[in-house]
Structure 1
Amino acid sequence: MMHADLIDEQDLVGQLRSLGFEVSGTAEQACTTAVCGLNETNARALKGLVEKLYTGSATILPAVREAIDRQLLPGLAQFKQSKVG
């Protein structure tokens, strides 16, 4: 039997919590909460998590990928943009 590593909503919420984000709920809700009030330190941690997830060998379930694409990536981009201008 083959074992595949999967990143589901609970995994994402757990990883966000391990970084110090106080999140709960679905992946979408957790990502929305995580990008509120970003500072340099937690934005860097969040960027590292996204990079780790996207470059790792685990399969990211569609709901998690959508939450990252819809909430985390735009939130990080907006934070970065606010620091430039």
Structure 2
Amino acid sequence: MMHTDLIDQDDLLGHLRALGFSIPAEATADEACAKVVGGLNEPNARALRGMVEDMYKGGATILPAVRQAIDKQLLPALAQFQQRG
């Protein structure tokens, strides 16, 4: 039997909390990403960028709701933050 590593909503929330973001336990992936982008600064933008790169380059499968939240919330916010800097 083959086991596939998955990144689900709980994994995403755990990664965000590990970076120091305060994410409510009941938050969805989309809500968590929206909360995170509201307070971007240089250190946490760098950390988020690294987290996203690791997730996308790793071998794990990112569940659709998590990928959508990252693609629609985090990536555009990180791109805007980089342009401002």
Question: If the TM-score is normalised by the length of the shorter chain, which range does it land in?
Answer: over 0.9
| Residue of structure 2 in register with 1:72 after alignment | 74
Distance 2:10 2:46 in 1: 22
Counterpart of 1:2, as a letter, is M
Structure 1: runs of 5+ lacking an equivalent: none
4+ long deviations beyond 3 Å: none
Structure 2: runs of 5+ lacking an equivalent: none
* 1:81, distance to aligned residue in structure 2 (A): 1.7
Q: Percent identity?
A: 65
| Residue of structure 1 in register with 2:33 after alignment | 31
* 1:37, distance to aligned residue in structure 2 (A): 1.4
**Two-structure CA RMSD over aligned residues (Å):** 0.8
Q: Deviations over 1:24-73 (max 9, x none)?
A: 30000001111111111000000000000000000000000000000000
